[in-house]
Structure 1
Amino acid sequence: MSDVPTARDNDSTTGDDATVPAAPKWGRLPTAPAVTTVLTEILKHGPIPRIEVARRTGLSQTAVTKAVARLAEHGLISAHDHRRSSAPGRPVQPLSVHAEAALAIGITVRVDAIFGVVTTLRADVRHSIHRPLASTVPAAVADSVATVIDLLLADLGPDAERVLGAGVAVSGEVDSDLGIVRNSPRLNWTDVPLRDLVRERRELPVLVDNDVRALSVAEEWFGIGVDANSFAILTIGAGIGCGLYVNGDIVTGDHGVAGEIGHLPLGPSELLCTCGRYGCVETVASTSAIVHAIRTTRQDPLLTMREAVALARGGDAVARGAFERAGSVLGLALATVANLVGPSSILVAGESVANYDLFDLRLREAFEAHVFGSAGACTIVAKSHTFEDWARGSAASAIQALVKGKLAAQS
């Protein structure tokens, strides 16, 4: 990626209108309960007839019609007559979201870089940017986040008025309600008021979230979770994360901690984790753990992950063993998740999905050996993943908060 924002051809508008009415600025969407419910349903399932919206939501057709009228006033949705001219009866008018009526910014913070995107209301990426991060000192990170926001807004030009807010995601324990990063071992942060730090620099609504939880929101509304009652996401990379969607809701935990699969004590008890505890899944399955194991055995301290993958695919026993041990521990961890919450599917994502072939066999063997009963009916699917996807997740998290009226309340 370049450090300069890059525009993309936009084909995400779902309406037929030539122009899109301007959306309210800075986090102001209509938030009456019925309106929120209807907008959510159209976002997730549109184009969709209003009678189907009523069936899915349990609202009366009158309530749906009133909510649709309110949303149309704000330029957020449109209805299209799909009846043929000779067809009898009332026209069928599927409802669609004007995806371009409002935009959101999504940012993910890594140890050495910041990735930012602008998305439509349906989380389709319009612009993206990548900036190096020289320091993880909270004030310096907030400065860099503000710079990324400025660059994205500048690249939008007049369309910047459609930006309603920003989502900023980091790894670790995050209190989204207060916008505080309680604990992020990778950033070496404790109780950092990231939302306030960003708001001090840029006046727009900001949601701070855990990166895996934000990714789960993107899948809930715009991915595998659209028609699912429960699903889980496993992310493999510098850390091992897990997002949980159970019985129609993202699991957040009362204290901002949920789905910390990377810190289940399923690894060797003598291995020290970055969290300060021993035997975590991350001590075996993270990219750094895999590389460290191969470096140590081969006595090659400069070995890179790319070289480790090449060795494993070339049949090197040491390298293959490190990946296979990681796969076994990950499979055991996923079986634990399946036994606890019974998801219909588990999505494997993250930077290391490109190397999933090196994990797959042992992961599935361990999963099948430890999953209980019908919990084993869940499907395991791998999905290619980039850092831009993490930033898109942050935007999706902000969009969900905007629709539910939670982000404007924080501004």
Structure 2
Amino acid sequence: MTTTEPPTRTGSGDPRAGGSREHHLSALFETVLTRGPLSRRDVARSTGLSPALVTKLVRPMLHHGYLVEQDPEGGVPGRPQIPLAIDPDRHYAVGLKLMNSEIVGVVVDLQAQVQSSHRLKFDDHSLAGGLAAIEETTRVLLDRCPVPDGRLLGVGIGLGGHVNGPAGVLHRSPFFDWREVPLRQLVSERLGLPVVIENDVNTLAVAEQWFGAGSAFPSFLVVTVGTGIGCALVLDGRLWHGASGIAGEFGHVIVAPDGPECHCGKRGCLESVAGDEAIVRAVADAGGPRITRVSQVATLAHAGDPVARRAFTQAGAALGRAIATLLNLVNPPLLILSGEGLAASDLFIDALREEVERSAFSTAARDCTLLVRPQPDENWARGAAATMLRHGVLSSLRTLTDAAAG
């Protein structure tokens, strides 16, 4: 895999190929957010929108305070260009990352800058217990960072499992015994606020798209490793969900039909072969010491234990073969590898890279930059908040623009 020159970002889809007002608004807003301040001319160049359409879309955004004009640029030939920037105080959002026994939450402004954060431990995994923990975390965050009336867009929630974000339904979760839960509705009713829910790997992809390595690429993938293995796909500026939110269930691609049983009920899923539990089990199966945590395997491996080192190498190779398949299918210019499993990445990354190079078709591996990028939990929560910002802002802007057009 080699480093490639970042291409011109075209926002949510390529406007030059047509597209809806929503896509154009998304392209304009996200371009100014991630690359601003920018003049109208530079926005048009970056998004591919015509200067006339940029001017038309910007007008209501300025009028209603989503954008602000800064002092004209000096030393530029021709008519002075007036930079546009996001007004960070126009809106705020709460973002929550739900984990097995902890919630991490943040409040962000419209530029997705963190204003307050909070972590809450909880051990009641019932639905009622989870809703209570969500409410408590949200209340603490807003008490620490009071938001002016009318400025709070709502709450974004990221969690593992089959999450149908557009429908607001959590179909199943690997951490909680929750099935077919209308989570968006339940949380919204409890908090009295708009809510969006999303798979947590998707929220990390939004974080990367808005203020991370993905901001320079119209298409990229995020793969996370650890207790579970997940994937998010950003294609032509849009987070791809699939028909019901299952897109990206990379950990449940079957790579060894006769392999170990996965918690999903199938055999030989990538997660059951290369996840944390698989690494621990590989040590036990090889007659190694009786241990229960992957961190213990890492300690043994770093001390030179051959069984522990082999367990990580085998997991890395399996993950590399699966990633090669992703590269063959999508041919992305960037793949970001993240997740808590990166704490031991030095033990498996060489095997992963070697297998990617060996198994990818033609130039697929060479075309793609593999970026190993650990992320703190707060950045996942920040991505959940950014997901709420995107939903709320675009809904508001669409209404304003429709009203202006009418």
| TM-score (normalizing by structure 1) | 0.86
Contact 2:25 2:397 in 1 (8 A): no
Which residue identity does 1:391 align to in structure 2?
A
Moved over 3 A (4+): 31-37, 56-60, 86-89, 158-161, 295-304, 406-409
Residue 157 of structure 1 corresponds to which residue in structure 2? 146
Deviation string 1:382-404 (CA, Å, 9 cap, x unpaired) is 01212212211211211221233
Contact 1:398 1:407 in 2 (8 A): no
From 44, 68, 73, give the equivalent of 1:78.
Answer: 68
Residue 203 of structure 2 corresponds to which residue in structure 1? 214
Sort the Cα spacing of 1:153 and 1:374 in 2 relative to 1 into closer, same or farther, 3 A.
Answer: same
Give secondary structure in 1 for the equivalent of 2:37: coil
Deviation string 1:304-363 (CA, Å, 9 cap, x unpaired) is 333221211121101101111110011011100000010001100011222211111100
Residue 147 of structure 1 corresponds to which residue in structure 2? 136
C-alpha RMSD of matched pairs (Å): 2.3
Deviation at 1:176, TM superposition (A): 1.0
Deviation string 1:158-215 (CA, Å, 9 cap, x unpaired) is 5575321111111111111221001223322220111111112111110011111121
Count of residue correspondences: 378
Matches within 5 A, 1:366-377: 366-376=355-365, 377=367
Q: Does 2:168 match 1:179?
A: yes
Q: Which stretch shows the higher mean deviation, 395-404 or 324-333?
A: 395-404
Contact 1:153 1:160 in 2 (8 A): no
Which residue identity does 2:82 align to in structure 1?
Q
From 57, 63, 68, give the equivalent of 2:53.
Answer: 63
Residue 240 of structure 1 corresponds to which residue in structure 2? 229
Deviation at 1:129, TM superposition (A): 1.0
Give secondary structure in 1 for the equivalent of 2:381: helix
Unaligned runs of 5+ in 1: 1-30
Residue 4 of structure 1 corresponds to which residue in structure 2? none
Distance in 2 between residues matched to 1:123 and 1:37, nearest whole Å: 17
Distance in 2 between residues matched to 1:75 and 1:135, nearest whole Å: 42
Residue 9 of structure 1 corresponds to which residue in structure 2? none
Distance in 2 between residues matched to 1:98 and 1:244, nearest whole Å: 29
Residue 316 of structure 1 corresponds to which residue in structure 2? 305
Which residue identity does 2:293 align to in structure 1?
T
From 163, 168, 176, give the equivalent of 2:157.
Answer: 168
Q: Does 2:110 match 1:121?
A: yes
Give secondary structure in 1 for the equivalent of 2:116: strand
Identity fraction in percent: 38
Unaligned runs of 5+ in 2: 1-20, 400-406
Sort the Cα spacing of 1:203 and 1:264 in 2 relative to 1 into closer, same or farther, 3 A.
Answer: same
Residue 345 of structure 1 corresponds to which residue in structure 2? 334
Residue 364 of structure 1 corresponds to which residue in structure 2? 353
Matches within 5 A, 1:251-290: 251-267=240-256, 269-290=258-279
Q: Does 2:376 match 1:386?
A: yes
Matches within 5 A, 1:186-201: 186-201=175-190
Contact 2:280 2:291 in 1 (8 A): no
Distance in 1 between residues matched to 2:23 and 2:393, nearest whole Å: 10
Sort the Cα spacing of 1:158 and 1:241 in 2 relative to 1 into closer, same or farther, 3 A.
Answer: closer
Residue 36 of structure 2 corresponds to which residue in structure 1? 46
Contact 2:73 2:83 in 1 (8 A): no
Give secondary structure in 1 for the equivalent of 2:213: coil
Deviation at 1:71, TM superposition (A): 1.6
